[in-house]
Amino acid sequence: MFSPVQKVVLVTGVVVGALLGFLAVSSAYDVFDDQPRVANAITRCEIHFTAEKCPARPNVFKIGRDNLLLDTHDNADKNEARCLKRAKEFFSYCKSTQPVISFFYRGNTAVSSNVVR
């Protein structure tokens, strides 16, 4: 999601903003491109795998060491129903023998999930 450098910039910006009392104003803009954003409107789709990850296609997806993939295909990161369907698609495409779980987030809250076994 963020590179280590971006995380340092983000954390530094939050700390400095809080100290100066400008946190509410600065959080209304993207830290990296000064584009306005709507508070709490950030959504994402996370696909969680077991240690087997994607056995049929191990080099196709950038699944992290934490067995997590942030999915943006076909707007899954913005569409809750689409995100939930992705677990089944990955389970089939990867020929998984272990569960694959999709989570749809609004802000930092998982609002729905789907487990495919």
Residues 52 and 100 in one domain: yes
Same domain, 3 and 58: no
3-state secondary structure of 105: strand
**Confidence band for 12, pLDDT divided at 50, 70 and 90:** very low
Residues 14 and 64 placed together within one structural domain of the fold = no
User: Does residue 62 or residue 4 have the better pLDDT?
Assistant: 62
In this structure, the answer to whether residues 54 and 94 fall within a common structural domain is: yes
| 62 and 6 belong to one structural domain | no
- Could you tell me if 22 and 9 lie in one domain? yes
Query: What is the length of the chain?
Result: 117
Q: Which residue segment(s) compose the domain that 5 sits in?
A: 1-38
Q: For 14-73, what is each residue's pLDDT tens digit?
A: 433 333 333 333 333 333 344 444 444 699 999 999 999 999 999 999 999 999 999 999
Cβ atoms of 42 and 70 within 8 Å: the answer is: no
* Count: domains in the chain: 2
Q: Check whether 80 has a pLDDT greater than 90.
A: yes
